[in-house]
Structure 1
Amino acid sequence: MILVKEFEFDAAHNLINYHGKCERLHGHTYKLVVKLEGIRGSEDMIYDFVDLKNLVKEHILDEFDHHYINEFIEQPTAENIAVYIWNRLAPLVKTENAHLCEIQVWETKTSGIIYHGEEA
């Protein structure tokens, strides 16, 4: 089974290794989708939605929401944001019956990245 939880945050960034309008400071309302794969545990759940919500808020949203992403990711492309979030979350959500299987980072409703943890 795959558990899915969606989040939203607002943040600003600019792409320093890019030539085009995105090299200028701008912001997005990002959508973050976190997917855990696993089997039901003792409570017949893969992972508690409330626990996942609190963990993502504390370790991701509090850092990203209404912040300038370049302060902690030098070149904050959607790809690099996805890798950064994966590296922060994967060890935190791993249990004996569940693990992180996918991160999605959407900059707009039509443009996003899907990351499965492979080398970037």
Structure 2
Amino acid sequence: MLLKKEFTFDAAHRLERYRGKCEALHGHTYRLAVTLKGHRDDDDMVFDFTELKKLVTAKVLDRLDHAYLNDVMDQPTAENIALWVWDELDGEVNRPNCKLHTVQVWETATSSVIVDREDAESR
């Protein structure tokens, strides 16, 4: 089974190694989807949605919402944000019955990146 929870956060950034309008300071309302893959546990759940929300809030949203992302990570592209989120959550959400499956970050309503374990491990 795949279990997915979505979040939003607002943040500013600039892409210092990019030539174009995104090299200037600007902001986005980002959308984030965290997907776990697994099977039901003794409570018949892959993962408790309330616990997942608390983890994502503490590990990700509290650090990124209304932040200047360049202070948090180097070159905060959607790709690098997704990898950063992966690193923050991977050890926190893995259980005997489930593992982190994908992290998806939308920079706009129509532009997103999806990171999976293979992407995270091939860096």
TM over 0.5: yes
1:51-62 matches, within 5 Å, as 51-62=51-62
Please say if 1:116 is aligned against 2:116: yes
| TM-score (norm. length: structure 2) | 0.96
Distance 2:72 2:63 in 1: 9
Unaligned runs of 5+ in 1: none
DSSP 3-state at the match of 1:59? helix
User: What residue number does 1:44 align with?
Assistant: 44
User: What residue number does 1:87 align with?
Assistant: 87
Q: Which amino acid aligns with 1:77?
A: T
User: What residue number does 1:99 align with?
Assistant: 99
Unaligned runs of 5+ in 2: none
User: What residue number does 2:5 align with?
Assistant: 5
User: What residue number does 1:14 align with?
Assistant: 14
Q: Percent identity?
A: 52
DSSP 3-state at the match of 1:40? coil
Q: Which amino acid aligns with 1:55?
A: L
DSSP 3-state at the match of 2:92? helix
1:70-85 matches, within 5 Å, as 70-85=70-85
Q: Which amino acid aligns with 2:42?
A: S
| TM-score (norm. length: structure 1) | 0.98
1:22-41 matches, within 5 Å, as 22-41=22-41
Aligned-pair distance for 1:87?
0.8
Distance 1:65 1:2 in 2: 26
